[in-house]
Structure 1
């Protein structure tokens, strides 16, 4: 076998590189084409339902009022909005301590409630124990409940 000179080795290396480049270039040949496609995924079903709370001070007496704070808990993984609030009053003795002796208001604007949050303020109002000509002794120590809902 014949030995290559330095110059011959350089030519052989250059030829090898050229051969690899030429054959590698063939590997990058391609066809042009057109295409289209799409993908789909369903959105969340929504924020679900928030839990609303009404909080007010104890010890209400005839002719007095107290502030009511309305808050919301959102256990879902989606932010949501609480709209207009509605509030009603009931008592632990509805036959003798009449709900009609009380009024409650609920004012709110569109209130955002972040996902996985508790105690977000969504409104306020006033609970009033009205004076009545009849004895309201039956309301002494009665429990007053404010039920709040959202439209």
Structure 2
């Protein structure tokens, strides 16, 4: 192997520095870039609605008495769980014209209950249905069906 002269060593060093600088510059240009863009996707329209029901034993309800109500929900969505917020009793109806809805009161105690997708009879709250004792004849309520209409938010 031949020895390099002092001038050859300087040229070799300069060539090495130039090669390293050129390689570093190329790497810098490769890694440095700018750009813009965006992406989008539409979310589901929501989990749909749940069906709410009030379950209670009306057969034991008499004037002046009350029964415990269990509020349940069905979620027919095959993929989305949902939460049922506060329940509000909207109205009480009866199937007998002489059995006045005003003779009944109901409340609903609930929180944010999760109703799993494709589920039925998930308890979402409790409450009380009371049959107010009136001075009027309430015989029309014997055997009548009482319905509690409830909503959630």
Q: TM-score, normalised by structure 1?
A: 0.73
Report the secondary structure of 1:134's partner residue: coil
1:80 offset after TM fit, Å?
Answer: 1.2
Give, in whole Å, the separation in 1 of the partners of 2:103 and 2:37. 66
Q: Which runs of 5+ in 2 are unaligned?
A: 1-28
1:142 offset after TM fit, Å?
Answer: 1.0
Aligned residues: 121
Give, in whole Å, the separation in 2 of the partners of 1:130 and 1:66. 12
Alignment RMSD, CA only? 1.8
Q: Which runs of 5+ in 1 are unaligned?
A: 1-30
From the two aligned structures, give the one with the greater helix fraction: 2
Query: Which of residues 142, 147, 150 in structure 1 aligns to 2:149?
Result: 147
Report the secondary structure of 1:61's partner residue: coil
Give, in whole Å, the separation in 1 of the partners of 2:71 and 2:106. 12
1:37 offset after TM fit, Å?
Answer: 4.1
Give, in whole Å, the separation in 2 of the partners of 1:135 and 1:58. 19
Aligned pairs for 1:53-132 (under 5 A) are 53-59=53-59, 60-76=61-77, 77-87=79-89, 88-93=91-96, 95-132=97-134
